[in-house]
Amino acid sequence: MGNKLLDLRDAEFAIRDQLRISDLFAYERFEDYSDEIVEMTIKTAEKLAAGEYYPINESGDATGVGFDNGTVTVPPEFHAAYGKFCEGGWTAPGESFEYGGQQMPTMLNYLTQMLFFAANQSLMVYTCLTHSAGKVIDIFGTEEQKTKYLEPIWSGRYGGCMDLTEAEAGSDVGAIRTKAIPNEDGTYKIKGNKMFISQGDSDLTENIVHILLARIEGDPEGTKGLSCFIVPKIRVNDDGSLGEFNDVVCTGVEHKMGMKGSATASLAYGDNDNCVGELIGGRCKGIVTMFHMMNEQRIVVGMEGISMGGSAYLHALDFARERKQGAAFGQKTGPQVPIIEHPDVRRNLLFMKSYTEGIRALLFFAAKCLDMKDVCDDPDEQKRYGDLVEILTPICKAGGSDKGFDVCTAAIQVMGGYGYCREYYAEQLARDCKITSIYEGTNGIQANDLLGRKIVMKEGAAFGALIAEIRATIEKAKGIDALSSYAADAGRHVDRFVEVTELLKSRLKEDGYLTYSWATPYLGVAEDVAVAWMLLDQAAVASEKEKEDGNSEADKAFFASKIVTAKYFVSSILPQITGILDAIERNDDAFSEMDERYFID
């Protein structure tokens, strides 16, 4: 079964047939791309992911990160694989030619990243955070800062990370206490401490560039007083050479449930009064600046989660086809059959298949919106694509991470006791995947963002744009005999979802505390609606592809599977949102009556 990292047949169907990546080739930015280059790019990424990243994931998990007297070391085998990754130009393929990028369409970039995330999440985290650090400098940096930092960051010579979390702040970013004291030369002296910083320190690169939030002395409390700074571990001279150590000290690394090859560091800045930072993005504009990095990372984290879930599904599917146990259904005796023939195993596999394929397609759709926002000429269309990215960000992040982990645990269930053992990949995938629902804003924060900001932003324009896309797909599917009744059912669920959304919006000002208690269930409903939308869209495309001449038996089976998967999800999983919507509509106040004293310790 292929590489067991990513179902390339399905992923390529999503970007080629469903979302028509070739449409992008008409734009100047992507004019060097073609179907042939897309195919070559995917094969090259698969070879590196399967041949270099995947074989060292288990050993990297066993070795873990080393820490000794302020020095952090990654598993030794990571260095050679990372070197090949950089040599292949995979560190920033979507960026402009000017800084060494390949101007790759984001859909294709996401597909290749999914291979690497499934192969070795711990090693890939170093790279994806580095890219986001570079993106902040690209968008907000001065020409001098771009010249100094972008090429070494996007070539992979420098690492990059995002430094927000503090012991007394956590997700409450406004409580940050790290200080920035102006120097006479326009730089700032940085003093403070951070924790839970992914890629905060390592020996993988020759330097690490920290994108850090701090408060300039005298500026207001809360998020409004925060500014953003570039703080290199080693100072960079004007000619690009490395200078002196910048007083950024790693004080320890976290001992984690998973992702043990990824350094999550505690950091001290300026203990010797010699840490220098450069302001980026403007004074007191730190949150605006940093959110560009966080929003990119939130979609990437959703990709991480579903990449690991997708790999777990492929491993479980392979196991279920090979593992024989029990007689055929309805027979008391007889030869043992592969467990894929048993109803509950097949149900688990179909659950995994539908969420993996639906959320993966949703991420590709968000990727296309990101590109279209940048390249299309129509201002109204630019706005619409931007609105879609905004509202899909929390859905992609939470859906990919929550459902990715659910798929990992379902894979363990299919594999039984074997799946719980370290000899099988699903066990590590589950451990590595769990963090994705926690970092870059917990999924509870994503739920609050969707409910409290995204559905009401721009007088509901973003939500309206999303619902319009969903309803257009439903109308298309209604015209297909095999999908007509399922599309009608999906349409009724979407109508109910819209009604309850309007109800929640009206309640936000009436009883915010009780209303926000529904944020996470509401986000779960949004995820299922989005998955149903994507699967119906894929089924509609597959029904047309079925009619083409020259389809192989494998093609026929694939197209049939897309139709059945959509029918299953709409008929067997999507209806579960009805109970949640009923509860939200009822809005019982037992939650508010639950006094803190009633939680017995």
Q: Which residues are catalytic?
A: 440
Q: What one-character DSSP code corresponds to residue 378? A: -
SS3 42: helix
How far is Cα 450 from Cα 430, in angstroms, rounded to an integer? Answer: 26
Q: What are phi and psi of 160, to 5 degrees?
A: -145, 150
How far is Cα 209 from Cα 199, in angstroms, rounded to an integer? Answer: 10
How many Cβ atoms sit within 10 Å of the Cβ of residue 530? Answer: 23
Closest-CA residue to 308 (of 219, 420, 192, 431): 431
Q: Which amino acid is residue 172, in one-letter code?
A: D
Contact, 178 vs 169, CB < 8 A?
no
Closest-CA residue to 580 (of 503, 515, 497): 497
How far is Cα 231 from Cα 277, in angstroms, rounded to an integer? Answer: 5
Place of tokens 């008409």: 26
Q: What are phi and psi of 272, to 5 degrees?
A: -100, 20
Query: Residues with Cβ < 8 Å from 579, sequence gap 6 or more?
Result: none
The two tokens of residue 319 are: 């196991």
The two tokens of residue 266 are: 């505690």
Q: How far is CA 496 from the centre of its chain?
A: 28
How far is Cα 171 from Cα 442, in angstroms, rounded to an integer? Answer: 8
Alpha helix segments (H runs only) across 21-169: 35-48, 57-63, 78-87, 106-119, 121-140, 143-154
Contact, 374 vs 29, CB < 8 A?
yes
- CB-based burial, 341-366: b 16+ in 10 Å, e otherwise: bbeebeebbbbbbbbbbbbbbbbbbb
Contact, 210 vs 180, CB < 8 A?
no
The two tokens of residue 33 are: 């791309």
E strand residue ranges, 177-263: 179-182, 188-198, 207-216, 226-232, 234-236, 242-245, 248-253
How far is Cα 559 from Cα 546, in angstroms, rounded to an integer? Answer: 6
Q: What share of the chain is helix, strand, coil (3-state, %, to 5)?
A: 60, 10, 25
Q: Length of the chain in residues, anyone?
A: 601
Q: Is the C-alpha dihedral spanning 350, 125, 431, 53 positive or negative?
A: positive
How far is Cα 178 from Cα 169, in angstroms, rounded to an integer? Answer: 11
Closest-CA residue to 440 (of 285, 308, 231, 300): 300
Number of H helices, E strands in the chain: 19, 12
Q: What are phi and psi of 30, to 5 degrees?
A: -115, 20
SS3 166: coil
